[in-house]
Structure 1
Amino acid sequence: WSDRNAPAPTLTITNPENGHAHLLYALETSIRTAPDGKMKPLRYAAAVENALRRKLGADTGYSGLICKNPNHSHWKIAADYGLGRN
């Protein structure tokens, strides 16, 4: 992320064997995704997600429904505690 001038993720979960990682970004304001959620915030969040995906050169086929478990000891974890870097 840093070499692509992208924002620091809140949590980085890396596979120590191949270096592949999931980058997780926390939101300061939640976005309701239930059927009664507002479309404008959902569209904005989708646009931000797509822009980050392009900027990072991330997997365009990733659905976002699953990720590496940060509580499992196999993965290498880096957390950003509001410092803008990890």
Structure 2
Amino acid sequence: MDEKNLRDIAALAKLSIRDEEISGMLNDFSRIVSYVDEIKNLDTSSVEDDEIYQLTMNSLRPDIKENTLNRDALSKIAPSYENGYVVVPRVIET
């Protein structure tokens, strides 16, 4: 991993990286990749498939109507509430 790759990944993740953080992050990435390489070299020949993949079933609960917050109660505890809706900060820029 080089600085250009790190900056490209940061841009894709919409992260801002300061110049003084680059060397530390490159070092961290190198350590992570080394650790993954160690995991790839583990001997798993003694592990059977049924030890890894266990049969799981969806556990469903009955659909029972329970007490919920009404709009008046919600409007009192919400940080911002307008026209019957909780107002939250914008997370996607348009």
TM-score class normalised by the smaller sequence: under 0.3
Max Rg structure: 2
Which structure shows the higher helix fraction? 2
User: TM-score with structure 2 length normalisation?
Assistant: 0.24
Determine which structure has greater relative contact order: mean sequence separation of CA pairs < 8 Å that are 6+ residues apart, divided by chain length.
Answer: 1
Which structure shows the higher strand fraction? 1
User: TM-score with structure 1 length normalisation?
Assistant: 0.26
